[in-house]
Amino acid sequence: MRRPLLGLLGAGMVTGAVAAGALSAGAAQVTADVPLQTIGQGPASATLANGVTASVDQGRWGGSGVYLTYPADGPQTWSFSEPVSVRFGITNLNGSPPESPGYECVQFPDGGVAVESLAPAHTWDPATSTLCHTGPDGSGTEDETVLVTTAPTTSLTWAALNNPDQARGISFMQVSVGEPAGPQADLSVVKSGPDSANAGDRIEYTLLVMNNGPADSTGFVLTDRLPRELTQAVPPPGCTIATDTITCTGGPLAVGAGHAYTFTAVVDQNSPKIFTNSASVAGNEDDPNPGNNSSSVSTMVTRVPMVSAGVAAGALGLAGGGWLLRRRTRPVRN
């Protein structure tokens, strides 16, 4: 009897709180919010939840973001205690035509920022790192452009342009430290095979690798280390076997897709009453759920192979012939 495979595949495929202080090198990325209302008025500083200290030289909190007045205030510079990635929003810019005194822009003189999402009434000039509001005056309350730094940095400077009154600017800021989180693909393997077999039988195993997401898998390695009770293994097509280990390299594998591998092996004549065969899979991407990366099947050895009828008859014939021969050589009594 074979164990169910959770859906056999046609042609092998289916679809379907951080302590204060810097994080150590190679640590997973941790993001913290900058309390703009507290330190956005500057000069001020604060140690964030991820251990980074953020400082600002000057500015004003205007109820919905940090304001700068052009030209009296000048640029505002944020400084960080270690290289960080910064994600922030710009909102509440005044509009009007470009020649109007109410036309507001903000510029990042040091560059190093890029647009993540551009508000409908905003324009972005990547050559000068300048963001402007092109809508009517007073219409920018709901328009927010989100920007990100293009590389880890220890400072971020922005300046208000054009409007001699004031320019609303940074509406939120998030600072991340550590290694960025890469794509994750939860790969799993389910192994199926016989519950029982006779010693000497050739049995079949099937291994189903699935990608449960959230990202596509660019590739994986499936391994099956054969126990000593299995011999004469025939690996799946495209796979290799060395030192009793079957290795299959697969991929890419989209979210919800799977691939099935089938191989056979012979149960050794000297197998114990039960043995276990295990397989495991490892993907190129980070796996958020390693608990389903391996699967095992235990098989009970029921009996040794039965002797064929022809062999049994021959053995009986030999035994019978010997008995007749012994009877003929028995001495005759007087």
The per-type count for the chain, helices as H runs and strands as E runs, is 2, 25
pLDDT higher for 40 or 225? Answer: 225
| Class of the CATH-defined domain 183-301 | mainly beta
CA angle 275, 280, 281 (to 5 degrees): 165
Q: How far is CA 14 from CA 5, 25, 161, 258, in A?
A: 13, 40, 56, 5
CA angle 61, 66, 71 (to 5 degrees): 105
d(CA 288, CA 309): 56
What secondary structure does DSSP assign to 45-95, as a single string?
Answer: EEE-TTS-EEEESS-EE-SSSEEE-TTTT--EEEEEEEEEEEEEEEE----
Fold for 29-177, please state it. Jelly Rolls (2.60.120)
Contact present, 171 and 64 (Cβ < 8 Å): yes
d(CA 21, CA 237): 52
The mean pLDDT of the chain is 81
Helix (H) or strand (E) holding 321: helix 309-328
What does the pLDDT average to over 96-117? 82
Q: What is the pLDDT of residues 183-242, one digit of tens each?
A: 889 999 999 999 999 999 999 999 999 999 888 999 999 999 999 999 999 999 999 999
Please say if the pLDDT value at position 304 is more than 90: no
Q: Provide the token pair at 155.
A: 């400072």
Domain coordinates in residue numbering, the chain: 29-177, 183-301
Please say if the pLDDT value at position 20 is more than 60: no
Q: What is the pLDDT of residues 144-196, one digit of tens each?
A: 899 999 989 999 999 888 766 666 789 999 999 987 667 889 999 999 999 99
Residue among 90, 297, 317 nearest 204 (CA) = 297
